[in-house]
Amino acid sequence: MPPHDGSGDIVDWDSVEETLGVPLPSDFRDFVAVYGAGSIDDQVEIASLEAGESDRVDSRP
């Protein structure tokens, strides 16, 4: 499944991981960098946070 032109998201992973309080797997970070957020065959949804979207994170203790 090759990426299409212009795909991939630039994410400040340090900021996202600080907001979440956990490190994210490197293969997930690599996938988002190549393909970006979106869905695969309307079956799997891939999300990524970009700058200023930390309010989308449900912070749980």
Read out DSSP for 11-28?
--HHHHHHHHTSPPPHHH
Q: What's the confidence (pLDDT) of residue 54?
A: 55
Q: What's the confidence (pLDDT) of residue 61?
A: 53
Using alpha carbons, select from 4, 7, 19, 5 the residue that is nearest to residue 49: 19
DSSP state of 6: T
State the DSSP H helix or E strand holding residue 44, giving kind and residue range, or none if neither.
strand 44-46
Q: What's the confidence (pLDDT) of residue 57?
A: 57
Q: What's the confidence (pLDDT) of residue 60?
A: 52
The per-residue pLDDT for range 16-57, each reduced to its tens digit, is: 888 888 899 999 999 888 888 888 888 888 887 664 555 555
Left if phi > 0, otherwise alpha if psi is -120 to 50, otherwise beta: which for 42?
A: left
